[in-house]
Structures are given as C-alpha cells and as structure tokens.
C-alpha cells in the first residue's frame, strides 16, 4: 500500500531528492522500498552505486558526498538515508543546502519517523527541508490515519493469495491492535496457519492469533460475568506476565463477552442449549461454565459494548498507558461500577 504522493512520483519519475517521514512506519518503509525498486535499474551494478546510511551514524555526512560522486558505469547513483529523526544539526544543514541544488546523476531517498525535536533557538528542520524541496524534489509526510488497519490486513492477505473477509479483518485488529507492522506480521502467520484454506475466517483468526490458553482467558471472562474482580484481575495479570499485548487481551475479552451475551440472550428466549452452543461456536465445557455463571445475571449488553469502545479508544490515546486502561476496564465490568 503506497500513498498517492509516492505513487505519483513513481509514475512521473523519481525526483533527485525524496523525503518520506511519518509515524506510520510500515507505510514509510514500503514507500522507501518502492522508490528504491524504481531507481535501481538505472544504477548499473548496485554494489557500486547503491548505498544505505543511517542518519545517526558517524558517517552520515558522507552520504551527501557520495551522492555528488559520478556514478560508476551507470546513469544514476542511489543514496538512502534512513532514520532522519536521529540526524544532527550539521547533517540537516548540509541536506537542506544539497536539496536546493541536487546533482542530476543521483537520487537521494531520506526516510524516518520525523525530525529531531525543535530546541529553543534551533531550526525546524522539517519546515526548512520541505521549503528547500519545493522545486527540486518531493516531501511526503505519511499519517497512520491515511489507511484503515482492517483494509490493510485484507489487502495484504490478498497479495498472499488469501481472502480475509471484513469481519475477520476487524477481529484481527481487535486482537492485535492497530499497529500496521504488527498486522502485516499477523496476516503472514495466518496464511501459514491456514495452509490450503483459501479464506482466512474468523475461526482461523482466533485459532492462530490467540497465544493465550483458552482456559485462562475464560477464567478472566468468568470473573467478569461472576462479578469477581479478584479472579478476573488474577487471570489478567497472568496473561500480562506471559507477555501478551494489552490490545490482544482486550480483543479476546471483548470477543468472549459477546459470546456470553449472545448465549444468555438465546437461552432467555428459550432456544435449546445445543442450538445455542452451535450458534455461538463455543466449546461445550466453556458453554456450560458460562451458562452457570450467567444464571446469576449477565452484564448488560449495551453497558459492556460501551465499556469496550471506551477502553479501546483510551488504549490508543490515554497517557496512563494501555495496561492501566485494561485493568480499569476489567475492574469496572466485574464490579458493574
């Protein structure tokens, strides 16, 4: 998935200097890969004319000197400068000057999450570099909001020869969080797990993405349904100590609570137990456990869904940290506070 600005540069010809920055690391990485792939055919023997330097390295300043060196037996020399956020003032001063008048025989691709924090009395290198490139190159700032995580997961699955339906993609995002790089990794795991299956269903997503023992997660869910915060928190902390990401745990809790709510609603309407278990796709032992717990009064569906939505939003923005948000969610549902 490449942004429109980068795609335009690829269609019209990569300019002499390209700067691509943003917190969406995966999109920045893919932009770099696409720009490099488009330029390398003009570089002859890559070992002679393609160099990669990190902005924080002691030899970073050499990158611009390399760009001004005549390419060896080729039309273009390609220089990639990564991790701009680690660059020094001296490097950016030189880069700004170079961007104003780049050489015709080189392509310089600069990438990173951003620029060093502007210090009092210092330069805003992002603004200065953007201004310098107005007529000589391309400056692209990529935001994570430019792409939908479920859409990215679906597209990546398609590129690997699999179909990932919308509901399954949304479930995957619930389980692993919205980080695009992590999503790509999880989709690739799903593809390997699915084998010859052409469709990555919700069942496959749950089976492959959940590294937490099902019984342990049901301990947590059972504590929430039974209004026992001690049991729920103990199960939560065991999962956290095993290194499970908070986003994944919230997704698993939410998924199981939805199963509980659906099961209790069907039972209340007189649907036979076997049919309820089949519809909710719950293991029979888990269903029996939930049925017994729910007899004491399951939590309100509207209340649970509201709390899940609030917790998910806070996890992506609250300064308190994802672990604290998850703990507060568990306690609030268990106590119905």
Number of domains in the chain: 3
Residues 16 and 142 in one domain: yes
Nearest in space to 35 (alpha carbons), one of 54, 61, 64, 12: 12
pLDDT of 214 above 60: no
Q: Which CATH number characterizes residue 326's domain?
A: 1.20.272.10
- 164 is in which domain, residue-wise? 149-209
Residues 12 and 112 in one domain: yes
| Helix/strand/coil percentages in the chain, nearest 5 | 60, 10, 30
For 241, list phi and psi in degrees, rounded to 5.
-65, -25
Beta strands 106-112 and 17-21: pairing type? parallel
Question: CB of 326 within 8 A of CB of 311?
Answer: yes
- Which residue matches tokens 């089949």? 278
Residues 133 and 20 in one domain: yes
Q: Which two tokens stand for residue 221?
A: 């869910």
Q: Which CATH number characterizes residue 191's domain?
A: 1.10.8.60
Residues 218 and 283 in one domain: yes
Which stretches within 177-300 are classed as H helix?
180-194, 202-209, 214-225, 229-241, 246-268, 273-280, 284-294
Whole-angstrom distance, CA of residue 228 vs CA of residue 298:
13
Question: CB of 34 within 8 A of CB of 6?
Answer: yes
Residues 173 and 100 in one domain: no
Residue at which a domain ends, from 102, 118, 146: 146
pLDDT recorded at residue 320:
62
Residues 157 and 175 in one domain: yes
Residues 12 and 120 in one domain: yes
Whole-angstrom distance, CA of residue 93 vs CA of residue 123:
9
- Which residue matches tokens 């309407």? 269
Residues 128 and 239 in one domain: no
- Which residue matches tokens 């859409």? 151
Run of H or E residues at 50:
strand 50-54
For 19, list phi and psi in degrees, rounded to 5.
-120, 125
pLDDT-derived band at 212, boundaries 50, 70, 90: very low
Q: Which of 29-33, 120-124, 223-227, 229-233 has the lowest mean pLDDT?
A: 223-227
Residues 170 and 219 in one domain: no
Q: Which CATH number characterizes residue 40's domain?
A: 3.40.50.300
At 161-203, the pLDDT tens digits run: 999 999 999 888 877 777 787 788 889 888 988 888 999 998 8
Strands in 50-54's sheet, in edge-to-edge order, are: 50-54, 77-82, 106-112, 17-21, 137-141
Residues 6+ away with beta carbon under 8 Å from 167: 202
Residues 11 and 135 in one domain: yes
Beta strands 106-112 and 77-82: pairing type? parallel
pLDDT of 318 above 90: no
At 33-86, the pLDDT tens digits run: 999 999 999 999 989 999 999 999 988 999 999 999 999 999 999 999 999 999
- Mapped onto helix, strand or coil, the DSSP state of residue 147 is coil
Residues 162 and 234 in one domain: no
Residues 222 and 314 in one domain: yes
Residue at which a domain ends, from 157, 174, 209: 209
Residue at which a domain ends, from 159, 184, 209: 209
Measured CA distances, 129 to 94, 100, 111, 134 (Å): 10, 9, 13, 9
């Amino acid at each position: 998935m490449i942004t429109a600005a980068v795609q335009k540069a690829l269609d019209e010809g990569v300019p002499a200097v390209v700067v691509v920055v943003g917190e969406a690391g995966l999109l920045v990485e893919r932009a770099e890969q696409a720009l490099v792939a488009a330029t390398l055919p003009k570089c002859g023997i890559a070992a002679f004319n393609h160099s990669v330097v990190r902005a924080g390295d002691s030899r970073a300043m050499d990158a611009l000197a390399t760009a001004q060196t005549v390419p060896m037996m080729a039309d273009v020399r390609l220089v990639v400068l990564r991790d701009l956020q680690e660059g020094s003032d001296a490097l950016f001063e030189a880069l700004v000057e170079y961007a104003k008048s780049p050489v015709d025989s080189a392509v310089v691709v600069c990438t990173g999450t951003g620029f060093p924090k502007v210090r009092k009395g210092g330069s805003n290198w992002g603004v200065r570099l953007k201004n310098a490139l107005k007529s000589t190159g391309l400056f692209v700032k990529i935001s994570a909001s430019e792409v939908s995580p479920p859409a990215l997961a679906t597209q990546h699955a398609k590129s690997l020869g699999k179909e990932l339906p919308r509901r399954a993609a949304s479930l995957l995002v619930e389980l692993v969080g919205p980080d695009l790089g992590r999503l790509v990794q999880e989709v690739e795991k799903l593809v390997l797990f699915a084998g010859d299956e052409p469709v990555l269903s919700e069942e496959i997503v749950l089976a492959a993405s959940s590294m937490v023992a099902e019984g342990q997660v049901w301990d947590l869910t059972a504590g929430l349904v039974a209004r026992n915060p001690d049991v729920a928190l103990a199960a939560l902390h065991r999962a956290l100590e095993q290194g499970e990401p908070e986003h994944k745990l919230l997704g698993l809790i939410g998924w199981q609570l939805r199963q509980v709510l659906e099961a209790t609603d069907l039972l209340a309407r007189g649907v036979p137990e076997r049919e309820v278990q089949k519809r909710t796709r719950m293991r029979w032992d888990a269903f029996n456990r939930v049925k017994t717990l729910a007899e004491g009064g399951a939590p309100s569906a509207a209340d649970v869904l509201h709390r899940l939505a609030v917790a998910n939003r806070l996890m992506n923005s609250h300064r308190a940290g994802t672990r604290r948000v998850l703990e507060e969610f568990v306690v609030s549902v268990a106590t119905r506070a």
